[in-house]
Amino acid sequence: MSTQIDALINLFAGTARLWRGTLAHRHTEPPAKMLKLYDIEACSYCRLVRETLTELDLDAMILPCPKNGTRFRGEARAVGGKTQFPLLVDDNTGTVLYESADIIDYLHRRYARGKRRSALLHPLAVLSSQAASVLMIRAGGFTGMRALPSRAPAQPLELFSFEASPFSKPVRARMCELELPYRLRNTGKGGWKDFGPPGFRDTLFKGEMRTTRNRRWLADNTGQVQVPYLIDDNTGTAMYESGDILKYLDRTYLLHKD
């Protein structure tokens, strides 16, 4: 399927969640030690946690645990006691948590000035997240759900993305299928000037950017702000464009059955 059509479907799926996972706080202090999330991209419960990470502008080491995966599922069981996802590990506080509602509540209390989250609306959130996940069905099943044979990278990759980004989703799904660990650098929008296609936005809004940490990093280091942006230190690669990133990931990490 073409990158554009795939993105259009993902854009449509985002409406089921009312674009949650798009906007971010501009003032969250990054924790000293990066959070770890054992995650399945296609899992609707994991999606809710990833939305919160975007909204609180928190980065995380994503450890993909797709069905029949072999790279991080054993580690997840050793850390938490069972293979259930999402599983959050916060080494800053010695916290190991299952259950999306509990994880979301924890993240808000710990990183958003102590505000508690009510669990009352959580079932509704799960339902709409499941509706969004249904739209991830492509020929061959859910994307981002099952492992593919892959080569393990020596060190984690790095991906700039925000949860609702329709072009980032297929990249995260492929990284999950290939069981590639990555530092998720969340790039939620910091305000209304962050909306619109990059070319249009950069022409229209000149001057000081009041934006989020990772968007500023992209602007300062690459001269543009667009997601997804992949950095792979294993091969000295850094690239924009989801279609090119997908081809790169397959070329570098997918093992073909002969």
Ligand X SMILES: N[C@@H](CCC(=O)N[C@@H](CS)C(=O)NCC(=O)O)C(=O)O
Residues making contact with ligand X (CB under 6 A): 40, 43, 45, 67, 83-86, 99-101
Q: Give the separation between CA 16 and CA 14, rounded to whole angstroms.
A: 5
Are 122 and 101 spatial neighbours (Cβ–Cβ below 8 Å)?
A: yes
Residue 104 or 230: the one with the smaller Cβ distance to ligand X is 104
Residue 72 or 85: the one with the smaller Cβ distance to ligand X is 85
Q: Give the separation between CA 68 and CA 83, rounded to whole angstroms.
A: 11
Strands (DSSP E) contained in 65-180 are 87-90, 95-97, 137-138, 141-142, 157-161
Output helix, strand, coil percentages for the chain, rounded to the nearest 5: 40, 15, 45
Residue 76 or 227: the one with the smaller Cβ distance to ligand X is 76
Q: How far is the CB of 87 from ligand X (least distance, A)?
A: 8
Q: How far is the CB of 223 from ligand X (least distance, A)?
A: 39
Q: Give the separation between CA 86 and CA 38, rounded to whole angstroms.
A: 6
State the number of CA atoms in the 13 A half-sphere of 52 facing the CB: 26
Q: Give the separation between CA 86 and CA 37, rounded to whole angstroms.
A: 7
Residue 85 or 160: the one with the smaller Cβ distance to ligand X is 85
Residue 50 or 185: the one with the smaller Cβ distance to ligand X is 50
Q: How far is the CB of 122 from ligand X (least distance, A)?
A: 8
The candidate with the shortest Cα–Cα distance to 47, out of 62, 67, 31, 69, is 62
Q: How far is the CB of 220 from ligand X (least distance, A)?
A: 36
Residue 54 or 211: the one with the smaller Cβ distance to ligand X is 54
Q: How far is the CB of 144 from ligand X (least distance, A)?
A: 11
Q: Give the separation between CA 255 and CA 4, rounded to whole angstroms.
A: 26
Q: How far is the CB of 15 from ligand X (least distance, A)?
A: 21
Residue 55 or 232: the one with the smaller Cβ distance to ligand X is 55
Q: How far is the CB of 27 from ligand X (least distance, A)?
A: 28
| DSSP code of residue 179 | T
